[in-house]
Amino acid sequence: MDVVSPELNSLLPDEIMDTEAITMEEELPVEHLAAPPQSEPEPPQVPMETEVPEIVSLCPATTSMQMSSASTDAQCSTSSGTQLLLAPSGLITSTTMTTTTSAKTTGPAVTQNLPKISSVTVPANHQLIINKVASAPAADGKSPGTAVLKPEGQKLLVAGLSKTGQPIMLALPHTWNKPATTQGTGDAKAQPTQIKMLTTVGKPVIAVSSASQLMGSSSTLQAQQLKTLQITKKPTVSTAGPMITKLIITKALNNKGLSSPASVAPVVTGRVVTQSTPVTPPRTITIGETVSTVPQNTSGNSKVAISPLKSPSKPVQTVGGVGTSQFKTIIPLGTPPNVQQIQVPGSRFHYVRLVTATTGSTTAQSGGSTNTNPSIQQAKPVMMNAAVRMSVPIVPAQNIKQVVPKPLTSAAQVVTTSQTPQRLIMPATHLPQIQPNLTSLPPGTVLAPAHGSGNMGYAVLPAPYVTQIPQPAFVTLTSSSTFSTATPIQTQARLSLNGLSTSEATSRPRKPCNCTRSQCLKLYCDCFANGEFCNNCNCVNCFNNLDHESERLKAIKACLDRNPVAFKPKIGKGKQGESDRRHSKGCNCKKSGCLKNYCECYEAKIMCSSICKCMGCKNFEESPERKTLMHLADAAEVRVQQQTAAKTKLSSQISDLLTRTTPAVTSGGGKLPYTFVTKEVAEATCDCLLEQAEQAELTTQPQAVAERLILEEFGRCLRRIISFAGKAKTDCPINC
DNA sequence: GAGTTTGAAACT
DNA sequence: CAGTTTCAAACTC
């Protein structure tokens, strides 16, 4: 598995590859959160570990991930050896993870309602073992925040407490601490570690289990769907051979039938406690940078299923990040999401996961759990803040899942799924014919071979393919204060769109298409051609949406078959800057003189070049026609701007007057309109009149017409003044 | 808004 | 590759 190869990247437009404004943060969480491997000194304690509640860390050495949804936070960070950092909500004041390679262990201070943990151990196989030193408090249900740990050596983890005091549990499979026997420590094969955090809509639960257990437990899932995100990261340093850490985010899609809080199932040791319909098993996206195609060794996996949004309607807010703003969470809005994106901070690419919108409950059940602790069963939903920045736009009736993996520098970025490959826009299984033309894929496309199964990979298309998000609400987390707080939208805005600068592409709303016959699956459709979904278009029988994924994929493939560079921006960026932008193919205009928007060059505001095959071209530097057109266009634009500014100024001046204390010139208990004609208002009015005069002059209107226009404008100004005066009388009848 | 023009895309 | 058809945007009235 690899991200777009350097060779391929080199072929992409410069604006696509521009990364200068993207903050890479991957080193920071490692430094802050994870103990360095081997003999490196103990890293300094980071306030984040003690100040940010509900921390779960699970990151390879150079990775950092941050995730959140709704009001939950969890933080994840591992160093080489994939340390797992667990910090109960405000309970662990100092936590240092220990790996078998470094044998570095510090006893975390667990206070309050949690049993004391003597050690937190993360062997080389990424297992994390919390050993209690004190007997667990009685699970009498009176202490919802109390979590009873299993006997020493048992791998039930307390990840934190929810805001209501309910424990967040991580349950590790029994096999987790047996890497040597079950997975062969030191084996060169990648060894995926999966931590699953599971929540329901209202009552998320966190569990850790192997992949196989996840699948096996799916039968216990009822009346709900789970969307699972796996983030796979291959540690750069590992003494026990390549390992893969998978972070699986399971999102409940079905909100119906949400069980009562008391019925929320507890974490099951070694088992994912989820519910799902057999028809719609949890779906997984694996994000990582490993190229390993070694099938997942499920026996050693741990998974973290992250809950869906707890409160879809919860307003945007920022959580965590005390003091240093280590975490920033934008709580999603709207209905439970069925649009998910995977966004890589530091990358210009948006990776998408398409999921089927469903509704239903996400109640977790024990499903054979060995844990009968009622205190755990009453676990309240919590969120995670991991050292991963993740954004989940919540858009009703949309089907994109956006996730933001950690930023990477040179490391490959991979998005794969182990299930439901059709959920991605372009399954790699359809790519054999495309792969020879890798350069033809949309910029930012990531090819992800199957991870585990080996026969299902995906091509993740760049952000332009993910624009079926009318008003996304994001869950955004940043893992460090240095991480850019730019929203996913801002990141997306960096993407080049057909030669336009990213700011252009995003600031200017795309025109809705009006396709009637092409089903928006041919390049006639601008949306499709730009790699976007149709959104708020006027098209008829549109297939350029997530409801017609298969057709769309076929159409994409067909286009690429016809033209390998069909989805590459037509307007390429020249070597010396924007002035060298030119059409990649050139135009073929015959009648328009290349001075109308029929001409793609003119439309892109670039001049025709030698590669154009146009006839009677007037779109060249010295062309008087072109200069005239450009002058007129500029003048028109300036006029509009001036007029708008003048009117705005006039309005603001009048409004300002209303708020001021004005001379008590009254008549019949109210101000006379002329009392509002102050110097400022007069100036603004003159601006409007002058603007009108200029406009008349530019349009070469006869003097009589110009005078009439000016007088009309003056009349409008007077009416506004009078109107505001009347409003003032109405608004403040006492003082005025 | 309807009709026309235009040129890219698709097709042969 | 060239010619033709299809298509949707741009443009005109």
Q: Got the DSSP string for A675-731?
A: GG--HHHHHHHHHHHHHHHHHHHHTT--HHHHHHHHHHHHHHHHHHHHHHHHHHHHH
| CA A557/CA A647 separation, integer angstroms | 51
| CA A73/CA A477 separation, integer angstroms | 9
Nucleic strand B near CB of residue A500 (< 7 Å)? no
Nucleotides of B under 7 A from a protein CB: 5-11
Model pLDDT, residue A659: 72
pLDDT at A694 over 70: yes
pLDDT tier for residue A673 given thresholds of 50, 70 and 90: low
Sheet holding A283-288, edge to edge: A191-197, A243-252, A226-233, A283-288, A414-416
pLDDT at A174 over 50: no
What secondary structure letter does DSSP report for A91?
Answer: T
A439-442: Cβ within 8 A, 24+ apart: A439/A8, A439/A11, A439/A564, A439/A565, A439/A568, A440/A560, A440/A563, A440/A564, A440/A565, A440/A566, A440/A567, A440/A568, A441/A4, A441/A8, A441/A560, A441/A567, A442/A531, A442/A567, A442/A568
pLDDT tier for residue A207 given thresholds of 50, 70 and 90: very low
The gap between A349 CA and C2 C1' (Å) is: 39
What angle, 0 to 180 degrees and rounded to 10, lies between the N-to-C axes of helices A703-731 and A679-698? 150
Model pLDDT, residue A494: 33
Nucleic strand B near CB of residue A591 (< 7 Å)? yes
Nucleic strand B near CB of residue A566 (< 7 Å)? yes
Nucleic strand B near CB of residue A559 (< 7 Å)? yes
| % of chain A surpassing 70 pLDDT | 26
- Among all strands, which nt has the closest C1' to A601 (CA)? B7
The gap between A612 CA and C4 C1' (Å) is: 21
pLDDT at A668 over 90: no
| CA A637/CA A454 separation, integer angstroms | 56
Q: What is the pLDDT of residues A187-197, one digit of tens each?
A: 333 344 343 34
Amino acid at A418: S
Beta carbons within 10 angstroms of residue A133's beta carbon: 13
Name the nearest CA neighbour of A243 among A130, A394, A407, A78. Answer: A78
Beta carbons within 10 angstroms of residue A638's beta carbon: 12
| CA A81/CA A241 separation, integer angstroms | 9
Q: What is the pLDDT of residues A454-489, one digit of tens each?
A: 343 344 444 444 444 433 333 333 333 333 333 333
For the residues A198-210, what does the mean pLDDT come to?
38
Model pLDDT, residue A403: 36
Tokens of A266: 């507890």
Nucleotides of C under 7 A from a protein CB: 6-11
| CA A58/CA A29 separation, integer angstroms | 11
pLDDT at A249 over 80: no
The gap between A540 CA and C13 C1' (Å) is: 26
For the residues A407-430, what does the mean pLDDT come to?
35
Nucleic strand B near CB of residue A150 (< 7 Å)? no
Asked if A330 and A226 touch (Cβ cutoff 8 Å), the reply is no
* Residue with token string 């007069």: A682
pLDDT at A241 over 90: no
| CA A694/CA A115 separation, integer angstroms | 79
| CA A530/CA A519 separation, integer angstroms | 15
pLDDT at A173 over 60: no
Beta carbons within 10 angstroms of residue A71's beta carbon: 20
Alpha helix locations (H) across A371-417?
A: 374-377
Name the nearest CA neighbour of A261 among A314, A192, A202. Answer: A202
The gap between A588 CA and C2 C1' (Å) is: 14
Q: What is the pLDDT of residues A526-569, one digit of tens each?
A: 999 988 889 888 899 899 998 898 889 989 988 998 888 888 88
Asked if A120 and A128 touch (Cβ cutoff 8 Å), the reply is yes
Task: Determine the protein residue whose CA lies at the shortest distance from the C1' of C9.
Answer: A598
Tokens of A297: 């060794």
Cβ within 7 Å of nucleic strand C, residues: A 511, 513-520, 522, 524-526, 596-598, 603
Nucleic strand B near CB of residue A589 (< 7 Å)? yes
Work out the burial of residue A501: count CB atoms within 10 Å of its CB; fewer than 13 is exposed, 13-18 middle, 19 or more buried.
Answer: middle
- Among all strands, which nt has the closest C1' to A518 (CA)? C7
Phi/psi of residue A525, nearest 5 degrees: -80, 120
**Dihedral sign from CA coordinates of A642, A645, A651, A656:** negative
The gap between A555 CA and B11 C1' (Å) is: 15
Q: What is the pLDDT of residues A520-530, one digit of tens each?
A: 999 999 999 98
Buried b or exposed e, range A334-364, using 16+ CB within 10 angstroms: bbbbbbbbbbbbbbbbbbbbbbbbbbbbbbb
Nucleic strand B near CB of residue A517 (< 7 Å)? no
Nucleic strand B near CB of residue A560 (< 7 Å)? no
| % of chain A surpassing 90 pLDDT | 4
Task: Determine the protein residue whose CA lies at the shortest distance from the C1' of B6.
Answer: A598
- Among all strands, which nt has the closest C1' to A593 (CA)? B6
pLDDT at A444 over 50: no
pLDDT at A722 over 70: yes
Per-domain residue ranges of chain A:
6-466, 570-621, 636-731
**Average pLDDT score, chain A:** 51
Tokens of A276: 């799902």
Q: What is the pLDDT of residues A12-60, one digit of tens each?
A: 444 433 333 333 333 333 334 333 334 444 443 433 333 333 333 333 3
Give Cα A648 distance to the centre of its chain. Answer: 36
| CA A724/CA A704 separation, integer angstroms | 30
| CA A322/CA A330 separation, integer angstroms | 15
- Among all strands, which nt has the closest C1' to A517 (CA)? C7
Asked if A149 and A91 touch (Cβ cutoff 8 Å), the reply is no
**Higher per-residue confidence, A649 vs A161:** A649
- Among all strands, which nt has the closest C1' to A613 (CA)? B7
Give Cα A337 distance to the centre of its chain. Answer: 12
- Among all strands, which nt has the closest C1' to A570 (CA)? B8
Model pLDDT, residue A688: 85
Nucleic strand B near CB of residue A600 (< 7 Å)? yes
The gap between A676 CA and B8 C1' (Å) is: 57
Residue A82 region by backbone torsions, left for phi larger than 0, else alpha for psi between -120 and 50, else beta: left
Model pLDDT, residue A598: 92
| CA A154/CA A218 separation, integer angstroms | 24
The gap between A603 CA and B6 C1' (Å) is: 13
Q: Which residues pair with A416 in a beta bridge?
A: A286
In this structure, of A486-495, A669-678, A679-688, the range with the lowest mean pLDDT score is A486-495
Rg (C-alpha) for chain A, rounded Å, is 30
For the residues A632-655, what does the mean pLDDT come to?
79
Model pLDDT, residue A660: 66
- Among all strands, which nt has the closest C1' to A592 (CA)? B6
For the residues A322-336, what does the mean pLDDT come to?
36
pLDDT at A613 over 80: yes
Work out the burial of residue A154: count CB atoms within 10 Å of its CB; fewer than 13 is exposed, 13-18 middle, 19 or more buried.
Answer: buried
The gap between A600 CA and B7 C1' (Å) is: 9
CA-to-CA separations, A147 to A91, A111, A265, A364, in angstroms, rounded? 12, 11, 14, 17
| CA A195/CA A415 separation, integer angstroms | 17
Model pLDDT, residue A686: 84
Model pLDDT, residue A729: 60
Model pLDDT, residue A515: 92
The gap between A716 CA and B2 C1' (Å) is: 34
| CA A93/CA A278 separation, integer angstroms | 42
